[in-house]
Amino acid sequence: MDILRRSGRICFEVELDAEVVKRGRPCSWTVRYRSVIGWGRATLVTDPSERRRALECLIRKVAPRHDYDLSEEELGSVAVIKIDLEEVSGKVST
């Protein structure tokens, strides 16, 4: 968090559908996957309504049928980070 506050420059990577492909002996195995790498600037979200909106979006994504009202204590116990993307790259292994 200290580094984020000082610089804000970030890089992140996300992998989806990772699967070990076993062919022959173990040293010949490979991995099939899809990935995305992004670069940009990250900032801590301090506005309470923006923090609440972001967390409610995440809750709906993870638990779409769950109606949950965030308390002020819960809202204050979680850092919300906004990423403004400057560049994105994707890859699909074959």
Say which CATH number the domain at 15 has: 2.30.110.10
* DSSP codes joined into one string, the chain: -HHHHHT-EEEEEEEEEEEEE--SSGGG-EEEEEEEEEEEEEEE---HHHHHHHHHHHHHHH-TT------HHHHHTS--EEEEEEEEEEEE--
pLDDT 10s digits, 20-72: 999 999 999 999 999 999 999 999 999 999 999 999 999 999 988 877 888 99
Q: Which domain holds residue 70?
A: 2-91
Q: What's the total number of domains in the chain? A: 1
Put simply, whether the predicted model's pTM sits higher than 0.85 gets the answer no
